[in-house]
Structure formats: structure tokens, C-alpha cells
């Protein structure tokens, strides 16, 4: 009997979770597993009808809905059939700390899948359900010129250093300033090397705008704020020479793995999920210190642990890459082989198949042993709590403004 799953996710989205969702589904299909792709809008969390989606009978649900979306998603989709199903949640997470509310939701599910041992080590401290690593598979595309250097005023013979991030991801975690500072320190007057800063949603993030603004007029720094297709993004990576990610933490680090798949030199912070595929033999790992998040404006919690890459070490490694550029073929080859041998669609698909075959052999009564319908209740409660907090803040601010106006009037009469 052929294995089948319902795979719930944001299949049409233009962000990391969506790409990881599509890759996982491809890996499952690559090894002959029927995948019922159930697509949702990342804006409204409503189901998007897709006539090409096959209707299959299966008792296994996979929800690739990350932590920050989980309450809104289940509050919006209370008609989902979860009872008598084995319900798996797939999360990537970047911090050692997990809130009590997240743990409460997590424990409703039968199983948690994560993309790295970094995530396994986090969640096994908080839950007793199985936490299993399934790394994101990496899909190489045919070489293309979808990315046109001339369109972005990049000289054809220049060495391209590249950093990629979504401006809506918190700037303190993506940390583009560190890459920009390290690059300008090493390549300030180098006309033969350029740093391409590929981002999108920049217009929606004041923090990201502030981080990039002082680099706008440096000739060998090219900032691109556009939504690229997968083909165009991979074309950019293919035509680049070095990818840099001086991040604070990654659940996996998809773009670093993709660059390695094309045999590129990759330099990244030596911490978190990217250690799943990066090591001293295939990449350049930057030393770091730990910091705590602060002044996050509610985008993420305060007091979460992040790495802060050491600028001096990043500069030293970047200078080494510059001075030894033509003697790094062993890094390039090791990087390519690491992804090819361990992170292909086929290799990850086979791991999925083994686990799903085991789940499929459970007795029918044993599937979905947790009371998963509690997820709707918990999500609705959290949604109401957010609404109450918003109203409380709004009312408080109105009263405070009235009191301030009153005090100004009193002061003016004296």
C-alpha cells in the first residue's frame, strides 16, 4: 500500500518557510509518497483552493506552520479534521528559549519534526513527544542567467560577495550590519569586488532600513530590494563567489546550504542550525559571543539568546578568503559533496519514508492519541488574549493622553 500524507502549509509564499514546505513535499514525492498539498494564504491563513491537489485517503497530517503563525492558523481553521489522525507539526526555531504557551500547543500534537539537531536539542527540553530531525532537502537548479548582472550595474568580471535576508525577519537576528561592516573593512577601495545585499520587504521594516542606510552610497555595495523567483535567486547564487551570513541564529540556514550545493565559498556564524551542514572542512565558521534580545518592538520576545559574531574574526576570515581565493577549491568541493551526499531530495525523502512507514503501521486506535482538538481551544484563547492586550493598551493610551492634555491646561493657567 502506497504511503500518503496531508501536507498543510503556505505553498505559494515567497519566504523561507514556504520554500522549505515545497522542498519537503518534493522530497516525499521523490520517493513515491502521495502528498495531498493543502495550501493556505500566509496573509489570511485561509485555505486556498487548488484543483491540482489530489484527494487522497490518509490518517497522517503534517502541519508546516511555524511557531509565530500557529495560533492564528488554528483559530482560523477550526473545521480541520484532526481526530483519528496522527498529527505532526514541523517547526524551525532559532532560540534556546521556548514560551510556556508554545509548549502547551506543542504537546497537543503526536510528533514534532525539526530541520536540525540544534532544534532537537531545544525542544527535547520542553516536551515528551517524539522530536525528530528531518533536514531540509536542497534542490539544485540548472545554471541560468535569469539574474542579469548588467541590470544591477555589476561589472561582469567582478567577484561577487552575497548576503541574503528577508527584511521582515528581525534585523537583530539576521544581522546584515555585521556583514556590511566586515566587507567594507576588507574591500573598501576594491573596485574588483562587490557585495550584493539581496533583501525584500525593506519598505516594511524601519529597523532594516536603518541598518542599511549608511551603506547606500558605497560604490561596491549593491542593495537589491525585490521579490525574486526561485529561479532568479538561484541564478544570483550561481553567479556569486562567496555567500556571507553573520546571523545571530538559524533554525537551519537554507541559503547557506543552497550556496554550498553550487560549490560556493560560505562564511557564516559558527552557531545554530547551519552546523548541520557547515564544518571547518567545507566553510568558514566565525567565532561569536552570546547576547540577549532587547528593544525588539514586540516582533520577538525580549531576553532570547542570540549569537553575536566577532567582527575581528569575520574580517580576518574574509581577508583570508580574499588573499587565497584561487587556493580554496578543496572548500568548494567539500561543500558541494556535503550537500549532494546528505541533503538531496532523494536522501531526505528516504528518511521521511522510513518514519512514515513506521507511523503507518501503528494500530488505528493508537493514532492521534493526544487530544489534538485542544489546539483550537488554545489558539482561540491566545487570539482573545492578544485582542484584550491590544484593547487594554489602546484604552490606557487614550486615558494617558487625556490626562496629559488636562495637565497641560492646568499648567497653562498658572
Q: Write out pLDDT tens, residues 77-107.
A: 999 989 889 999 999 999 999 999 999 999 9
User: Residue range 145-158: average pLDDT?
Assistant: 96
Please tell me whether residue 255 adopts helix, strand or coil conformation.
helix
Cα gap 67→263, rounded to integer Å: 32
Are 92 and 162 part of one and the same domain?
no
Are 267 and 351 part of one and the same domain?
no
Are 121 and 227 part of one and the same domain?
no
The closest of 213, 288, 210, 297 to 245, measured between CA atoms, is: 288
Cα gap 158→182, rounded to integer Å: 18
Which band of pLDDT confidence, cut at 50, 70 and 90, is reported for residue 390? Answer: low
Which band of pLDDT confidence, cut at 50, 70 and 90, is reported for residue 49? Answer: confident
User: Residue range 27-35: average pLDDT?
Assistant: 97
At residue 43, the pLDDT reads: 92
Q: Is 410 domain-assigned?
A: no
At residue 412, the pLDDT reads: 62
Extract the C-alpha cell encoding 179.
556583514
% of the chain residues with pLDDT over 90: 78
Cα gap 60→65, rounded to integer Å: 16
CA dihedral 347, 351, 357, 358 (to 10 degrees): 160
User: Residue range 352-372: average pLDDT?
Assistant: 76
Question: What's the CATH number where 251 sits?
Answer: 3.40.50.2000
Are 312 and 180 part of one and the same domain?
yes
Cα torsion 142, 9, 136, 293: sign: positive
Are 62 and 120 part of one and the same domain?
yes
Are 245 and 325 part of one and the same domain?
yes
Asked whether residue 51 carries a pLDDT value surpassing 70, the answer given is no
How is residue 15 annotated by DSSP?
A: S
Asked whether residue 269 carries a pLDDT value surpassing 60, the answer given is yes
Q: Which residue has the cell 505553498?
A: 11
Which band of pLDDT confidence, cut at 50, 70 and 90, is reported for residue 295? Answer: confident
pTM: 0.88
Query: pLDDT, tens digit, for every residue of 109-126?
Result: 999 999 999 999 999 999
Q: Is 396 domain-assigned?
A: no
CA distances 156 to 145, 148, 187, Å, are 12, 10, 18
Query: Is 162 within 8 Å of 234 (Cβ atoms)?
Result: no
Are 320 and 353 part of one and the same domain?
no
Query: Is 294 within 8 Å of 376 (Cβ atoms)?
Result: no
Please name the helix (run of DSSP H) or strand (run of DSSP E) that holds residue 17, with its range, or none: helix 16-30
Q: Is 35 domain-assigned?
A: yes
Query: pLDDT, tens digit, for every residue of 159-216?
Result: 999 999 999 888 999 999 999 999 999 998 899 999 999 999 999 999 999 999 999 9
Are 128 and 258 part of one and the same domain?
no
Q: Which of 13-27, 266-280, 394-408 has the lowest mean pLDDT?
A: 394-408
Q: Is 216 domain-assigned?
A: yes
At residue 297, the pLDDT reads: 72
Asked whether residue 399 carries a pLDDT value surpassing 70, the answer given is no
Are 361 and 318 part of one and the same domain?
no
How many domains are there within the chain? 2
Query: pLDDT, tens digit, for every residue of 245-268?
Result: 999 999 999 999 999 999 999 999
Which residue segment(s) compose the domain that 47 sits in? Answer: 4-137+346-379
Q: What angle do CA 179, 182, 184 make, to 5 degrees?
A: 105
Q: Is 243 domain-assigned?
A: yes
Are 373 and 290 part of one and the same domain?
no
Q: Is 387 domain-assigned?
A: no
Among 319, 343, 367, give the residue marking a domain's end.
343
The closest of 159, 117, 111, 154 to 134, measured between CA atoms, is: 117
- Beta-strand relationship, 265-269 and 242-245: parallel
Are 114 and 74 part of one and the same domain?
yes
Are 368 and 274 part of one and the same domain?
no
Q: Which of 320-329, 334-343, 354-363 has the lowest mean pLDDT?
A: 354-363
Q: Is 384 domain-assigned?
A: no
Cα gap 192→186, rounded to integer Å: 12
Q: Is 48 domain-assigned?
A: yes
Rounded to the nearest integer, the mean pLDDT of the chain is 90
At residue 373, the pLDDT reads: 66
Amino acid at each position: 500500500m502506497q504511503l500518503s500524507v496531508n501536507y498543510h502549509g503556505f505553498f505559494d509564499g515567497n519566504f523561507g518557510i514556504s520554500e522549505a514546505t515545497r522542498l519537503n513535499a518534493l522530497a516525499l514525492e521523490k520517493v513515491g509518497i502521495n502528498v495531498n498539498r493543502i495550501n493556505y494564504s500566509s496573509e489570511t491563513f485561509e485555505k486556498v483552493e487548488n484543483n491540482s491537489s489530489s484527494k487522497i485517503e490518509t490518517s497522517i497530517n503534517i502541519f508546516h506552520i511555524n511557531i509565530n503563525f500557529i495560533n492564528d492558523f488554528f483559530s482560523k481553521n477550526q473545521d480541520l479534521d484532526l481526530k483519528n489522525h496522527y498529527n505532526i507539526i514541523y517547526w524551525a526555531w532559532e532560540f534556546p528559549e521556548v514560551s510556556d504557551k508554545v509548549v502547551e500547543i506543542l504537546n497537543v500534537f503526536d510528533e514534532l519534526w525539526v530541520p536540525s539537531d540544534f532544534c532537537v536539542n531545544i525542544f527535547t527540553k520542553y516536551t515528551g513527544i517524539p522530536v525528530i530531525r528531518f533536514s531540509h532537502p536542497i534542490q539544485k537548479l540548472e545554471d541560468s542567467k535569469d539574474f542579469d548582472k548588467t541590470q544591477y550595474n555589476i561589472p561582469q568580471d567582478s567577484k561577487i560577495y552575497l548576503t541574503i535576508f528577508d527584511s521582515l525577519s528581525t534585523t537583530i537576528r539576521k544581522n546584515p550590519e555585521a556583514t556590511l561592516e566586515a566587507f567594507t573593512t576588507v574591500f573598501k577601495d576594491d573596485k574588483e569586488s562587490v557585495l550584493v545585499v539581496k533583501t525584500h520587504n525593506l519598505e516594511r521594516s524601519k529597523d532594516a532600513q536603518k541598518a542599511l542606510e549608511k551603506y547606500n552610497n558605497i560604490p561596491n555595495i549593491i542593495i537589491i530590494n525585490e521579490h525574486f523567483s526561485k529561479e532568479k535567486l538561484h541564478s544570483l547564487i550561481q553567479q556569486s563567489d562567496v555567500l556571507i551570513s553573520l546571523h545571530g541564529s538559524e533554525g537551519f540556514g537554507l541559503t547557506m546550504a543552497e550556496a554550498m550545493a553550487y560549490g560556493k565559498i560560505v562564511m557564516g556564524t559558527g552557531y545554530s542550525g547551519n552546523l548541520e551542514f557547515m564544518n571547518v572542512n567545507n566553510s568558514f565558521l566565525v567565532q561569536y559571543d552570546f547576547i540577549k534580545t532587547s528593544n525588539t518592538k514586540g516582533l520577538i520576545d525580549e531576553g532570547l539568546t542570540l549569537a553575536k559574531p566577532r567582527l575581528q574574526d569575520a574580517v580576518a576570515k574574509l581577508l583570508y578568503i580574499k588573499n587565497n581565493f584561487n587556493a580554496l577549491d578543496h572548500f568548494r568541493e567539500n561543500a558541494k559533496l556535503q550537500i549532494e551526499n546528505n541533503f538531496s531530495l532523494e536522501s531526505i525523502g528516504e528518511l521521511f519514508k522510513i518514519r512514515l512507514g513506521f507511523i503507518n503501521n501503528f494500530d488505528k486506535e493508537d493514532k492521534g492519541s493526544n487530544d489534538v482538538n485542544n489546539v483550537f481551544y488554545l489558539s482561540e484563547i491566545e487570539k482573545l488574549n492578544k485582542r484584550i492586550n491590544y484593547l487594554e493598551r489602546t484604552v490606557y493610551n487614550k486615558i494617558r493622553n487625556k490626562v496629559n492634555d488636562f495637565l497641560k491646561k492646568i499648567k497653562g493657567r498658572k
